[in-house]
Chains A and B, each alone.
Chain A
């Protein structure tokens, strides 16, 4: 690019390039009006590097220190004024949770149940101490009739320090005079809810039936030791009286069936063989073990065999699956299958469980009535008593 020298000084010259740009250049003995092609142009002045000096750092440090002080003060104020340090649960008919700050002032109240919500409706805790709030809420409950003056209200306190707990405890005990106050320490600020505590224990659901056993599976095996523990208070009761279930909904079951032998769980998928069916389920080996309280003499094994043989065609009848069919007033009888499986179990169990078979009444229609699996478990208790 060609440059025209437009001005000359001792230290520099001003050149005009072909793009109408004016630049400074070294004056290499130039003259005004001269055209040059390779001048030494002035370099663009670079901005000076900013050194980190104490004078520059000092304001930054001062600002940072001020910010830190202000932040610490703000955090301290917030922590003492608006941060929850303690929780007090007032447990009566209404469970009310009070959140306190470091000074013990009430930050907010929270209802734990519907009645508590009703009490806290339109209630303002602003500028009120914890005892005032507690007194107000207790007065509301007394007005509504849920509390009387002699009742005891539990206060569960969860505080940061033991000193705070002691202070709160003293304050609640001294300043609340409408009701009796019972203050307890609460590790976890969640009081035990009386609704849940009063609920009865959940019934022990039997274990899910084994798919192999099917619905016919008996709920429990009779445990002789357990049976011994479940001895009735009046052992002199007749078996009939003992057998009669007080809670049995089937009131139409008129005949008081003598005690059946213990019915172990049924295994429906293992149908007994014919030979096994014909064998008597239980043979009384020792006559001394014959219970005296039995109303009827147990049949001899031959008679039992006959009975089983007569009942042989009943084996083809499927096992009862619908217990509703038994509510027609038919007597509840043990299922032969169950007897068979029971016999297997008897071999494994103690001799005390082995009971002589008892005669069964003939079904009216010639068919073996379907058996309620729940009733099978009852005779063992009686029989255990008898044994």
Chain B
């Protein structure tokens, strides 16, 4: 029993930094996750239930935030799952009075079908497919730099001051195409030049090197959809 607890703690600590190990841990503990979800729903969860997805996400959160001082991992994960499901239930409860567009009337027709739609579904599907291709290409290119999307998400700046520093560095790189060319050629982020040119702290850039790799790649040619997405905020950017 004691060795089991030690084993799971080791797996948890490994999954904190390794996304593949996290996926394996979640897969191996799916019965536990379903059990906790069933306790909340008072029924066995279907694979398509949002509650099951939220429970899996809560388990992943528990993996990332767990420390030994918090006690047994499974107890901690069960508490985390239950809290997340309660939060989701309360959020859904707030929207309970609103009529869903997916709801059907007496003639079994959805409300969504009755609303004149200017949105082209075909175009949207194409747009999603194009975006997916860009993201896959970006992910592949990031792999050459030794960076994954999960790493980028972990390394993304949170504080506004750090975000601003990164934006200034990216804007400086965009205004100097030679820096982007050197970046693609050497596959190394020119931290010193960016820090000097953008007049930002070098250490701040070094801490968020993976994030800079992803954004600088997006700023290069070939990722128009993603660049257009983030350029809504970064006015005058790439």
Contacts and interface: CB of A to CB of B under 8 A. Distances in A.
Contact of B226 (A2, A16, A45, A50): A16
B88 interface: yes
A29 interface: yes
Interface string B55-66: 011011100110
A28 B26 CA distance: 15
B110 interface: no
Given A4-B135, A12-B60, A32-B136, A20 B54 contact: no
B161 to A, nearest CB: 14
Contacts of B152: 14, 22
B158 interface: yes
A27 B57 contact: yes
Contact of B211 (A10, A22, A28): A22
Interface string A244-285: 000000000000000000000000000000000000000000
Contacts of A29: 48, 50, 53
B214 interface: yes
Interface in B76-92: 84, 88
A33 B131 contact: yes
Main secondary structure of the interface of B (DSSP, over half): helix
Interface size class of A (residues with CB under 8 A): 35 or more
B88 A40 contact: yes
A115 B95 CA distance: 101
Contact of A40 (B57, B167, B226): B57
Given A14-B153, A50-B69, A20 B230 contact: yes
Given A32-B135, A35-B128, A40-B54, A16 B229 contact: yes
Interface in B204-238: 211, 214-215, 218, 226, 229-230, 232-234
Given A10-B27, A40-B57, A42-B57, A20 B65 contact: no
B18 to A, nearest CB: 12
Interface string B12-36: 0000000100110011000000000
Contacts of B84: 40
Given A19-B234, A42-B60, 8 more contacts: A7-B139, A7-B153, A9-B150, A10-B23, A14-B153, A20-B230, A22-B156, A42-B64
5 contacts: A7-B148, A7-B153, A24-B150, A42-B61, A48-B69
Interface of A: 2, 4, 6-7, 9-12, 14, 16, 18-29, 31-35, 40, 42-46, 48-51
